[in-house]
Structure 1
Amino acid sequence: MPEQSANAVAPERSRLVVLAGPTAVGKGTVAACVRDQHPDIWISVSVTTRPARPGEIDGLHYHFISDEDFDRLIAEDGLLEWAVVHSAARYGTPRAAVEQQLAAGRPALLEIDLQGARQVRERMPEALMCFLAPPTWQELERRLVGRGTEGPEERERRLVTARTELAAESEFDVTIVNTDVETACQELVDLFRSGTSRIHS
């Protein structure tokens, strides 16, 4: 039999891990690290009604769809979770793709917001909920300002949202502090290999 790659996740069971956390904490960056270094882990691509940011690719970062198409997915129960984020655009996770990967025994990662994570816990209580936290509040503010993708009003709205999101950490099973992307990425991948189910009481 061919040897399994040292970086591959053991295939004895599928596992669904949900990664959530406050805005600008680096969820997308950590998920991209997992995608690049551990292609055996399937990462769900969310649908969203917001326009693409510079450098974002449709079908890779998000599926960018119209409000009408989003409404249709809701009506057909085609979303595992969905939410209005930052009082603006809607985001959601296509249900069929997740179920197909898990049925095939492949480990799956959802990188979603707090509202979506709560919905997934209701629908798939076996999922492991992972909270990605910033080292400090000041660092979170620095990252949000530094990425330069939002204006002052949008940044302020996202910081208000982030305070609420940080307060929900205790709802999650595991917390990873995103001090360093590579380290956070490896800690996340380790969750697929381990037997960890619940850490917070």
Structure 2
Amino acid sequence: MASWLPETLFEIVGQGPAPSKDYYQLLVTRSQVIFRWWKISLRSKYRSTKPGEAKENHENFLENSHLQVQIALIFGARILDYVFNLCEGKFDFLERLSDRLLLNIISYLDLEDIARLSQTSHRFEKLCSSEALWEERVRLVCDAITPDMRALASEIGWRRLFFTNKLQLQRQLRKRRQKQGPPRKKLY
């Protein structure tokens, strides 16, 4: 299963905690954890400081508490936990799927399951509330999407359109047509 993985498993870059302006990169490959830093300072004693790099294989990283503390300080405990899991061979394959593919899968879930899934992570919350998902849900329950429905969805959103009952939807479409006035006749 690990052979399906790309060479680079995870990468993140960021700036050190304030007031530091130092720049950091964390890269996890199939075999190594690579931590790089660039000192950015106006102080004369740090101007000539060269970039640094620490490389550890996965097994040694799990024992290197100094490097772990550095990563936790700069990127947070959540990132450190994720790197631990990668080094221990615990891969999150669901996280590696594209948004488009996940949206396709989510569109077939029950509404209760979508609500539960949206509470699991920021990524799933974003996907479960996306217009693309709710447009697909409307497509699954409607025989056809009329131009009026599409226009109404652009005004109120696909999610709201999905949860609007048929009677309310017909009323809103009628109001929208009345605002636009009678259809213009084509002159030939």
TM-score class normalised by the smaller sequence: under 0.3
> By percentage of residues, which structure has more helix?
2
**Which one scores higher on RCO, CA 8 angstroms, separation ≥ 6?**
1
Question: Rg larger in 1 or in 2?
Answer: 2
